[in-house]
Amino acid sequence: MRDMKFSGREACILRSIDMATGTIGADILLRTRMEAQEALDILNGMLDMGFIETSPDQQTHVQRWALNTTMFEVNPAFVHDLKHALIHKSGGRS
């Protein structure tokens, strides 16, 4: 198991993404109530780290104009570790 630690905002973004089906950017913004640029910076950082992917896997960085319609998915290779890290971050709640 990988030791993963996330800031509160990163954890918020990860929790907003449905781990089974993915979530479009517009829904992530609604669920997190973050400013678009802030959410985009976090999403692009997670894309760089490989924790999340776009679907279809088309880009490594999402541009602001495409954020609302881009589908974000958790990388299947990290699902178990991310769930564990998020449970630990929230003190036992998922």
Judged against a pLDDT cut of 70, whether residue 1 lies above it is answered with no
Q: Tell me what pLDDT residue 35 has.
A: 97
Q: Are 83 and 77 in contact (CB under 8 A)?
A: no
**pTM reported for the whole predicted model:** 0.86
Q: What is the average pLDDT across 45-71?
A: 89
Judged against a pLDDT cut of 70, whether residue 61 lies above it is answered with yes
Residue 85: pLDDT band with limits 50, 70, 90: confident
**25-64 as b/e, with b when 16 or more CB fall inside 10 Å?**
bebbbebbebeeeebbebbbebbeeebbbbeeeeeeebee
Distance CA 61, CA 40 (A): 9
Nearest CA-CA partner of 94 in 36, 15, 24, 22:
15
Domain with residues 8-89, CATH architecture: Orthogonal Bundle (1.10)
